[in-house]
Amino acid sequence: MGPEGPESFAEAILHANMDTLLPKLFEAAERILHVVGLAQRTGILEVKELVNETLANCWAGDRSWVPGAGATEERLVRYLCMTMSSVAVNRRTSADVARRAGVEALERELDASPSPSRRLRERALLGRIEQALAGDAEALAVYGMLAEQLTREEIAETLQCDVEHVKVVLRRTRRRLAAKGISPRDDGEDRQPVSSE
């Protein structure tokens, strides 16, 4: 174990007290499913499935490990909550896309779909944002939840922190993006920048 705690997720789990960790994760997963809107939608994602999928993704290295995230059980729970939020939002988005996959929805989507050049600009912008926020899982999670149009209050509830902490993360995110010369307006569209107010 390094000076900041476990150096990998595997090391953090090996040192974690699963008797106290799992109940906290199940409780958090239930809250996350409620906030993301999946608690009432059966068959999409259940509490145990969310916890198991999150742990499997982290164990497989599909999620970036943040140094110090496992220094305490509280920090490990926070890290896993951010990851569970991401998994839940992805699952909800996939379910919504599948639900709207009818012919009429497909026709509307084709009519309203952005041009190839706009999609390319958006992908490039997302890549630049992800690169600028690399190593800051908290900033990536908050930015992703904002992109999913969750409110600061919903983000705070999902991450088990207060709204003031979300504002701090947003300010940090905005500074990191500005330092890299990145603005959400870089895609050529008139969109509002990330606000920390």
* pLDDT band at residue 20 under the 50/70/90 scheme: very high
Domain boundary among 52, 76, 111: 111
Are residues 18 and 95 part of one domain?
yes
- Give residue 116's pLDDT: 59
Contact 75, 25 (CB under 8 A): no
This prediction's pTM: 0.51
Domain boundary among 111, 139, 156: 111
Domain boundary among 86, 111, 136: 111
Are residues 129 and 100 part of one domain?
no
Mean pLDDT of the chain: 79
- pLDDT tens across 94-150, in order? 777 666 655 455 555 555 555 556 666 777 777 788 788 888 888 888 887 877 788
Domain count, the chain: 2
Are residues 163 and 90 part of one domain?
no
- pLDDT tens across 56-104, in order? 888 888 888 888 888 899 999 999 999 999 888 888 887 776 666 554 5
pLDDT(31) > 80: yes
d(CA 122, CA 114): 10
Find the domain containing 188 and state its range.
114-197
- Which DSSP string do the residues of 115-172 spell out, in sequence order? PHHHHHHHHHHHHHHHHHTTT-HHHHHHHHHHHTT--HHHHHHHHTS-HHHHHHHHHH
d(CA 95, CA 131): 27
